[in-house]
Amino acid sequence: MKLLWQLFFSFFKVGLFTFGGGYAMIPLLQAELVEKRKWISESDLMDYFSIGQCTPGIIAVNVATFCGYKMKAKTGAVIATFGIIVPSMILIILIASVLHNFLDNPYVIHAFAGVRIVVVALIAETLISFWKKGIRDKTGIAVFLVSTGLLIGLGVSPAVIVLLAVAFGLILQKWGRR
């Protein structure tokens, strides 16, 4: 029971402080789940993210479900998912019903501009630690470079990039020397 509360509360916090969509969530998940609670490893988080990228649904929700399931099977999956969506539901309903001019408030506008800058810095830090963890040899660097080219140069969808990477991994296993 205590674990379920912790799960709910951790994901509630992540949901409440994620500004700017799924990717902005990674630094928070890293701090909350990997460093503070030690529920999952950094590699787990990367794997969840990549699978969440090419399975149906919102990436953030997929990642929450993964972590929750790992901790406490189906109940954990539902509780973690619930934790991440509850802050959104409350805030959005408040904004839509009573805080109509929320976004026009100058304080809100300035605060969001400040948060956006911090989010960029937080993600840059995540990028460094994921790079250290996920790219261990020349093949890894090659996959990274090709993926970056496909994503930024050609605008290929992230889901397709993940699937291509999996295919490449399988080919390496079958014919390469890993």
By CB under 8 A, tell whether 6 contacts other proteins.
no
By CB under 8 A, tell whether 7 contacts other proteins.
no
Among 6, 17, 37, 72, binds other proteins (CB under 8 A): 17
Complex with other proteins: residue 15 or 39, whichever CB lies closer: 15
Which residue is associated with the tokens 């890894």? 140
Task: Please calculate the CA angle 13-157-30 and round it to the nearest 5 degrees.
Answer: 25
Among 2, 38, 56, 101, binds other proteins (CB under 8 A): 56
By CB under 8 A, tell whether 96 contacts other proteins.
yes
The answer to whether 51 and 24 are in contact (CB under 8 A) is no
**Number of chain residues interacting with other proteins (CB under 8 A):** 108
Among 26, 33, 40, 71, binds other proteins (CB under 8 A): 26
Q: How far is CA 45 from the centre of its chain?
A: 8
By CB under 8 A, tell whether 105 contacts other proteins.
no
Long-range contacts of 67-74 (CB under 8 A, 24+ apart): 67/7, 67/11, 67/29, 67/33, 67/39, 67/40, 68/7, 68/11, 70/39, 70/40, 70/44, 71/3, 71/7, 71/39, 72/3, 72/4, 72/7
By CB under 8 A, tell whether 69 contacts other proteins.
yes
Complex with other proteins: residue 5 or 95, whichever CB lies closer: 95
By CB under 8 A, tell whether 61 contacts other proteins.
yes
Provide CB contacts within 8 A for 116, sequence distance 6+.
19, 20
What track of x and - describes contact with other proteins for positions 116 through 155 (by CB under 8 A)? xxxxxxxxxxxxx-xx-xxx---xxx-xxx-xx--xx---
Complex with other proteins: residue 3 or 70, whichever CB lies closer: 70
